[in-house]
Amino acid sequence: MTTVTTDTEPPELPDTFRAMAFDGDALLRPVTMPMVPPGPHELLLRVHACGVCRTDLHVVDGDLAAPVLPIVPGHEIVGTVLARGARTDAFAIGDRVGAAWLRSTCLHCRWCETGRENLCRDARFNGLHAHGGYATHVRVDARFCVALPDGYDDIHAAPLLCAGLIGFRALRAAGPDARRIGIYGFGAAGHLVAQAARAEGRDVFAFTRPGDTAAQALAMRLGARWAGDSTQRPPEPLEAALLFAPVGALVPKALADVEPGGTVVCGGIHMSDIPSFAYRDLWEERVIRSIANLTRDDASGFMALAARTPLACETETFALADANDALDRLREGRITGAAVLDCSVAP
């Protein structure tokens, strides 16, 4: 049987959409792309907002190779459903939905069948394998979309979809009993997970780039017990360290900051090399682990937390046409909180 790729609804879709695309050069360019109707399991979204994530920088800077160019980055996508594929009934036309990094998986491998779909060998990612949310429109897999809590407008909901989710997965990886949590890199993920940790009664110690007093002040405003430079030792030993800065040298530093049995969680998809360190720094059952991508269970768990506990999401908003400016400022560490593109106006 051939696959039906047309929508069953009668949408009046434009023939094209606009996007900021990466074609191998350092700068994203505004482009017009043909509108393709959603496949059987897909939704076509009118994008309202898309967060700007460090992973997008890794794509643009060549640390993470997109298999096909040009590609439209963006995986913190907030939009409303314009059209649905023939086999999709999870959302209705007009619903607001979120699409995150994990675009789809095979659904039947041993990782997918054991709650670890984030590790599926056939996982596809929005903004890497398929066009993402730096656009007026996007096609996403409905089975991997998530409903967003009402208390967040489009701009403030966007960072929940990667920064929030990755922070949440990192906090879960720290274990339920870790009380004193170090957060290394206090940007989009750090400032959201700090609030999630506080909501769970944990103590937060925030480490920023040396001299980043704005991020340190934000950390203290959000309830951190202590904030300082990443070169400083915390005032007391930590039970877990969550690393969001892509700096390998922070791994042995964080290992030295955690007490016996403590866990160092690396939250980034890319990190500079980790310098060698003495075995005694790892001894006494300290653990170094990474987290990779995220699962739909993370998404539903975190959105439930975000609905119960209003998270203050610090954002800097850019027009979609100014995506390069947003990426530059993120690369230079000149964003406080999360950068978000307003996709309501075509570039």
CA 196 to the chain's CA centroid: 15
Strands lying side by side in the sheet with 180-184: 226-229, 203-208, 180-184, 238-243, 258-266, 287-290
Sequence-separated (6 or more) residues with CB below 8 Å from residue 141: 41, 42, 43, 103, 104
Nearest distance in Å: CB 106, Zn ion: 4
Q: Both tokens of residue 17? A: 């959409």
Q: Which is nearer to Zn ion, 104 or 216 (CB)?
A: 104
* Among 60-68, 162-170, 193-201, 314-322, the segment contacting Zn ion (CB under 5 A): 162-170
- Alpha-carbon distance of 99 to 107, in angstroms, equals 17
Q: Which is nearer to Zn ion, 36 or 106 (CB)?
A: 106
Nearest distance in Å: CB 285, Zn ion: 31
In the window 98-157, what residues touch Zn ion (CB under 5 A)?
105-106, 109, 112, 120
Q: Which is nearer to Zn ion, 127 or 252 (CB)?
A: 127
Q: Which is nearer to Zn ion, 120 or 238 (CB)?
A: 120
Which CA distances in Å does 237 have to 69, 191, 240, 261? 46, 21, 9, 11
Q: Is 53 in the site for Zn ion (CB under 5 A)?
A: yes
Q: Is 162 in the site for Zn ion (CB under 5 A)?
A: yes
CA angle 320, 324, 327 (to 5 degrees): 105
Q: Both tokens of residue 337? A: 């909180």
Bridging pattern class, strands 226-229 and 137-141: unpaired
- Amino acid identity, residue 170? A
Q: Is 315 in the site for Zn ion (CB under 5 A)?
A: no
Q: 163-173 and 296-308 helices cross at what angle (nearest 10)?
A: 100
Q: Which is nearer to Zn ion, 79 or 262 (CB)?
A: 79
Q: Which is nearer to Zn ion, 115 or 260 (CB)?
A: 115
Q: Which is nearer to Zn ion, 117 or 212 (CB)?
A: 117
Q: Residue 264 half-sphere exposure, CB side, CA atoms within 13 Å? A: 24
Binding residue count for Zn ion, defined by CB under 5 A: 8
Q: What does the per-residue mask of binding to Zn ion show for 180-219, with x meaning CB under 5 A?
A: ----------------------------------------
- Amino acid identity, residue 315? T
The answer to whether residues 54 and 140 touch, using CB atoms and an 8 Å cutoff, is: no
* Among 16-24, 48-56, 127-135, 192-200, the segment contacting Zn ion (CB under 5 A): 48-56
Nearest distance in Å: CB 220, Zn ion: 26
In the window 264-283, what residues touch Zn ion (CB under 5 A)?
none
Q: Which is nearer to Zn ion, 157 or 227 (CB)?
A: 157
- Alpha-carbon distance of 239 to 183, in angstroms, equals 11
Residue appearing with tokens 């890199």: 185
Nearest distance in Å: CB 7, Zn ion: 27
In the window 221-240, what residues touch Zn ion (CB under 5 A)?
none
Nearest distance in Å: CB 168, Zn ion: 13
- Alpha-carbon distance of 189 to 201, in angstroms, equals 18
Nearest distance in Å: CB 105, Zn ion: 4
Q: Give me the residues that bind Zn ion (CB under 5 A), please.
A: 53, 55, 105-106, 109, 112, 120, 162
